[in-house]
Structure 1
Amino acid sequence: MTKIISSPNCGNSPKMEFLKQFNIAFAKGDIAFLIENVTDDIVWNIIGDKTIEGIEVFAEELEKIQSVKASELILDQILSHGKEGAANGWMTMENGMRYAFSDFYLFQSAKGEKLKEITSYCIKL
């Protein structure tokens, strides 16, 4: 079971709640939720590593990395404005590895239905 710690926010932003749930799904390895909530032409730019383009390649990458799930997710901040959003925090994996991350999101529209682009910064601690 993944322990989730999230900073409280104003509670009236559906996009901020969505980004919280998206990060929780990532930590838990819920690939179905992640795929369901990105566009077919998703671009995931993992800074310093690679760029993943298209939902099929996105799904393949998630399958590769989901073997080690997070035992703890700490979300320090979640922000959203217009078509953009961001989240940062910490993850401790089941194998004991710890990472600090900051993700920037671009929604397909200001309504915030699906993510079109993700830029991830991840530092192994």
Structure 2
Amino acid sequence: MTKITSSPNCGNSPKMEFIKQFNIAFANGDIERIITSVTDDIVWDIIGDKKIKGKEHFTKELEKMRSLETAELIIEQILSHGKEGAANGIIRMQNGQQYAFADFYTFKGASGTQIKAITSYVLEI
């Protein structure tokens, strides 16, 4: 089971809680939850690596990542405003690797129930 540590201010709004749960789903490899949280035309831009377009390709990328086991997810900050949101933190893998991440989200609408774009910055530390 992945250990989850989250900043106390995460969850002050429904969108912030949504982003927190979305990140937890990523850490736990919960593809079904992730897929229901994105639009059919999702664009995931992993800076310096690749750009994934469409739910089908997004799902295939998640399937590739499913074998990676997360030991701990530390969410340091979650921000939201209008149709946008962001989260950053550290993810520690079972194999000892650690990554710092910052994800920027664009939502379909201001209510924050579906993500239409993600820009991810990931740095091994």
TM-score (norm 1): 0.97
User: What is aligned with 1:20?
Assistant: 20
**3-state DSSP class of the match of 1:42?**
strand
Separation (CA, whole Å) in 2 of partners of 1:14 and 1:69: 28
Give a deviation string over 1:10-67, Cα, whole Å, max 9, x none: 7430000000000000000000000010000000000000000000000000000110
- State the AA in 1 paired with 2:5: I
Secondary structure of the corresponding residue to residue 16 of structure 1: helix
Match of residue 52 from structure 2:
52
Q: Name stretches of at least 5 consecutive residues in structure 2 with no aligned partner.
A: none
How far has the Cα of 1:120 moved from its partner?
0.1
Please name the residue that 1:37 is paired with: 37
Cα RMSD over matched residues? 0.9
Matched residue type, 2:65: I
Q: Any idea what SS the aligned residue of 2:101 has? A: strand
Aligned to 1:112: 112
2: CA distance between counterparts of 1:101 and 1:79? 14
CA distance, structure 1, for counterparts of residue 98 and residue 60 of structure 2: 23
Question: What corresponds to 2:98 in structure 1?
Answer: 98
What SS does the corresponding residue of 1:74 show, helix, strand or coil? strand
Q: Which residue identity does 2:96 align to in structure 1?
A: G
For residue 3 of structure 1, report the CA deviation from its aligned partner.
0.3
- Note the residue ranges of structure 1 that are not aligned, 5 or more in a row: none
Secondary structure (helix, strand or coil) at the match of 2:23 reads helix
The TM-score with structure 2 as length reference comes to 0.97
Question: How many residues are aligned here?
Answer: 125
Q: State the match for 1:123 in structure 2.
A: 123
Q: Secondary structure at the match of 2:24?
A: helix
Identity of matched residues, %: 66
1:101 is aligned with what amino acid?
F
Which residue identity lines up with residue 59 of structure 2 in the other structure? Answer: A
